[in-house]
Chain A
Amino acid sequence: MTDLLRASAVGFERYGEQVFEPLDIQLSPGMAVVLTGRNGAGKTTLLRLLAGILTPSCGTLEIDAAVAFVGHLPAVKGDLTCRENLQYEQSLGPACQPVAEALARVGLAGLGIRPARALSAGQKKRLGLARLLVRFTPVWLLDEPYASLDDHGCATVDRLISAQLDHGGAVILATHQRQPRIAPERIWQVIVSASGETTE
């Protein structure tokens, strides 16, 4: 099976310092990588690196598939309705699930015409996750997908991740509060640690 993403000794420098210890990641279809580490260890930086937003300062990074990134913010426009936000996302292509179905799967059925700004924090998070469903992207990069979600919402995230893995996709997620409850043999743990003592 070919890898979707290969990172070897990849690292990122900010103000001349390594943010985290360079690490290796190999991602093949049907696999979930769980990044854990203390606050400020560099999990978000690593995810942004893998998403292509940042450019690695050392190591090599090869990505052979389309990636989607959901960060702390849902990256939607508050002035547009949930449906319009997802329609925009869908038109970036390649389209996958219909907008209404995506909304229903994240528990926002019936809220399609509500402006995104009028959603609660948890609902916004769900809308951010719905962005993943309307487009076909083999690699999902999720930054704290369980944050500000209730138990039911967390279970929804687990279901979405399982479905993505079943369909030959892969997921990399950063979390420090809850481990994804999916088949354990599919999970690969990676510990992100902040760079130790500052070198000159």
Chain B
Amino acid sequence: MKKPVTADRPRALAAPLALLRRDMKLAMRRLGESLLPLFFLFTVIVLIPLGVGPGPDLLARMAPGMVWVAALLASLLALEHLFRPDLDDATLEQWFVGSESAYGRVLARLFSHWLITGLPVIIFSPLAAEMLNLPREALGTLVLSLVIGTPALSLLGGLAAALTLSTRGASVLLSILIFPLIVPLVIFATGAVAMAADGMNPGAHLGFLATFTILAATLAPFGITTALRMNVE
């Protein structure tokens, strides 16, 4: 009789952790693709000043918006590949084999999306802020707004990607779907940084941002799991 060899690790965590490890391995193997978010950030930071003129006051006012737009584009760009390769090579189907829910794997996949698109932007945002002459006192708020807000980008983007998975020409539809959902995110995030730059307390804006992210984290994974199941059927 073949016997299971491993000790009883909490089974519910085994599949999501395995998926996360594999996703990271795949990201390392396609390093060029994975570095695209950073490339985006610095393209925006370098090119926009050339277009609008390099007045330090002007750039400082625009800095939070530019960093956030870069984060947004980086996140959007990777959405097309969030679930589609898995649908094409039938590994997505395997998420639903057996009695275990795919919910944990959905969370793991969203987390790896955030690690690739959100985290690099957060890490390099101080450098970008410095290049744009953002007031020092607003720097902390910018980083904080990214930490709070970028997970919501992955969550909402994941929902749009899952819903449009089996649609032809999905990328257009995807952008249209996700656009209204992320408007409040950008408003509150850049609002918070502007408040901090003017020496006011950005707490209320950051609070709204956090509310938004928590709401997305609560609801989106269920929606994504259901949408994916419908797409593999």
Contacts and interface: CB of A to CB of B under 8 A. Distances in A.
Interface of A: 48, 51-54, 63, 66-69, 71-80, 84, 88, 91-97, 136, 167-168
B58 interface: no
Measured as residues with beta carbon below 8 angstroms from the partner, the interface class of chain B is 20 to 34
Contacts of B15: 92
Interface in B4-40: 4-6, 9, 11, 14-15, 17-19, 21-22, 25-26, 29-30
Contacts of B3: 136
B2 A67 contact: no
Given A52-B98, A69-B93, A93-B14, 17 more contacts: A51-B96, A51-B97, A52-B96, A52-B97, A53-B96, A53-B232, A63-B99, A72-B90, A78-B89, A80-B25, A80-B29, A88-B22, A91-B17, A92-B15, A94-B4, A136-B2, A136-B4
B2 A88 contact: no
A94 B98 CA distance: 13
Given A66-B98, A167-B1, A92 B93 contact: no
Interface in B60-92: 89-91
B90 A75 contact: yes
B96 A96 contact: no
A77 B21 CA distance: 13
B98 A88 contact: no
B94 interface: yes
30 contacts: A48-B93, A51-B97, A52-B96, A52-B98, A52-B99, A63-B99, A66-B98, A67-B97, A68-B97, A69-B97, A73-B90, A75-B93, A75-B94, A76-B91, A77-B26, A77-B91, A79-B29, A80-B26, A80-B29, A88-B18, A88-B22, A91-B17, A92-B18, A93-B14, A94-B4, A95-B4, A95-B6, A96-B5, A136-B2, A167-B2
A91 B14 contact: yes
A67 B96 CA distance: 11
A31 to B, nearest CB: 16
Contacts of B30: 79
A47 B233 CA distance: 12
A132 to B, nearest CB: 11
A53 B4 contact: no
B227 to A, nearest CB: 15
A136 B2 CA distance: 7
A82 to B, nearest CB: 14
A92 B22 contact: no
Given A79-B30, A95-B5, A69 B94 contact: yes
Interface string B191-231: 00000000000000000000000000000000000000000
